[in-house]
Amino acid sequence: MSVLETLARKIKKDHFVGSIYALFDFLTAFPPKDFLDREKIKLFWKVRSYTMVGFKRVNNVYELSRFIERIKLTGAFVECGVWRGGCAAVMACVANGSGSNRKTWLFDSFEGLPEPSEIDGNQAKRFASNRSSGKLESINECVASLQDVERLLFSELGIRTENVIIQKGWFQDVLPQFRNKIGPIALLRLDGDWYESTKCCLENLYENVVPGGFVIIDDYGHWQGCKTAVDQFLHEKKIVVRLQEIDYTGRFFQKPGPLFHEPAAP
Ligand SMILES: C[S@@+](CC[C@H](N)C(=O)[O-])C[C@H]1O[C@@H](n2cnc3c(N)ncnc32)[C@H](O)[C@@H]1O
């Protein structure tokens, strides 16, 4: 990760500086052809201060959600690691606008990140003020409230409440109870940063992803533990996929199977 990217991540946590950064990011990253797409501009502008994710990753989740709606692929949209809900809102808004009645499931502790483990490496340990025991206790980083997410989705974007389920709790406690309720998944977006968080999501939810569905991993290039969890999972399950690069950290792949479609360019 470059110095500029580290700086960008830090300043985006400050709301005032973050807004200026978001405006700059927005104006410089938005492709000129998309300036004709008023709905997209409006949506991206509204979510800009509700996500830590830069333009390319927001655009990736937008394009994949639209593609899934276009080809009418069965299954829910799911995000694990929601923070203030920016990326989640993009998925839910696309589903809402398509009239498909697709469900969007959102999972987060809403207490911030838990402790990383040794396998997450020194960068994560430093970020967690020298903690690396893997305890499910907040390190007070990436803390947001469920109400922030509700405000964005329901008040600001007017998304219908009946198709969105927001579940508070640690993935490790919640996902085993919810995997059957969620059913088939068309788009699984993983943004939990650490090894154990990523591993837990893959172990509980990958089987639900339908053939031709997509898995997005936000932290593959940024956090060492996330990459290890994904690589180990794919290796152990003998899953052969083409991990496609979104930006320096984001990756996505399409689950192999009979319904294979070439993805829309993110
Ligand atoms: C980087 S933020 C997510 C960013 C968000 N997707 C966005 O659009 O900006 C990581 C989130 O993962 C959540 N998280 C990480 N590990 C978790 C776990 N094991 N259980 C529940 N939530 C977890 C944190 O609470 C935090 O909100």
Would you say residue 64 has pLDDT above 80? yes
Tokens of 198: 């990523």
In which band, very low, low, confident or very high, does the pLDDT at 58 lie, cut at 50, 70 and 90?
Answer: very high
Mean of all residue pLDDT scores within the chain: 91
Pocket test residue of 65, 108, 175 for ligand 1, highest count of atoms within 8 A of CB: 108
Task: Check residues 18 and 20 and name the one with the higher pLDDT.
Answer: 20
- CB-CB contact of 77 with 95 (8 Å): yes
**For residues 183 and 66, what is the distance between their CA atoms, to the nearest angstrom?**
20
Q: How far is the CA of 82 from the centre of ligand 1 (A)?
A: 5
Pocket test residue of 13, 137, 143, 193 for ligand 1, highest count of atoms within 8 A of CB: 193
Beta strands in 132-204 (DSSP E): 164-168, 185-190
Cβ of 187: how many Cβ atoms within 10 Å?
27
Task: Check residues 213 and 7 and name the one with the higher pLDDT.
Answer: 213
Q: How far is the CA of 141 from the centre of ligand 1 (A)?
A: 9
Torsion, CA 93, CA 96, CA 98, CA 100, rounded to 10:
140
The dihedrals phi and psi of 129, each to the nearest 5 degrees, come to 50, 50
Q: What's the confidence (pLDDT) of residue 7?
A: 59
Tokens of 43: 């949506």
Task: Check residues 32 and 57 and name the one with the higher pLDDT.
Answer: 57
Q: 3-class SS at 167?
A: strand
Of ligand 1's listed atoms, the one at least distance from the Cα of 196 is 19
Tokens of 143: 């803390």
Of ligand 1's listed atoms, the one at least distance from the Cα of 172 is 19
In which band, very low, low, confident or very high, does the pLDDT at 10 lie, cut at 50, 70 and 90?
Answer: low
Q: Which helix (H) or strand (E) holds 244?
A: strand 244-245
Distance of CA 84 to the CA centre of its chain: 11
Tokens of 160: 């219908």
Q: What's the confidence (pLDDT) of residue 4?
A: 56
Crossing angle for the helix pair 38-47 and 55-71, to the nearest 10 degrees: 130
From 1-5, 18-22, 66-70, 252-256, the region with the lowest mean pLDDT: 1-5
The vertex-88 CA angle with 73 and 114, nearest 5°, equals: 120
Percent residues over pLDDT 90 in the chain: 80
Pick the residue whose CA is nearest to atom 9 on ligand 1. 51
Residues with CB under 6 A from ligand 1: 51-53, 81-83, 86-87, 108-109, 112-114, 142, 144, 170-172, 191-194, 197
Over residues 135-169, the pLDDT tens digits come to 999 999 999 999 999 999 999 999 999 999 999 99
- CB-CB contact of 184 with 75 (8 Å): yes
Burial class (CB in 10 A: 0-12, 13-18, 19+), 125: middle
Would you say residue 255 has pLDDT above 90? yes
CATH topology of domain 38-254: Rossmann fold (3.40.50)
The string of DSSP codes covering 187-217 is: EEEE---SHHHHHHHHHHHGGGEEEEEEEEE
- CB-CB contact of 216 with 266 (8 Å): no
Over residues 71-129, the pLDDT tens digits come to 999 999 999 999 999 999 999 999 999 999 999 999 999 999 999 999 999 999 999 99
In which band, very low, low, confident or very high, does the pLDDT at 14 lie, cut at 50, 70 and 90?
Answer: low
Pick the residue whose CA is nearest to atom 20 on ligand 1. 170
Pocket test residue of 82, 106, 173, 219 for ligand 1, highest count of atoms within 8 A of CB: 82
Map out the domains of the chain as residue ranges.
Answer: 38-254
Query: What is the sign of the dihedral through the CA atoms of 249, 29, 65 and 83?
Result: positive
Instruction: Enter the pTM of the model.
Output: 0.91
Q: What's the confidence (pLDDT) of residue 266?
A: 52
Of ligand 1's listed atoms, the one at least distance from the Cα of 50 is 9
Q: What's the confidence (pLDDT) of residue 229?
A: 98
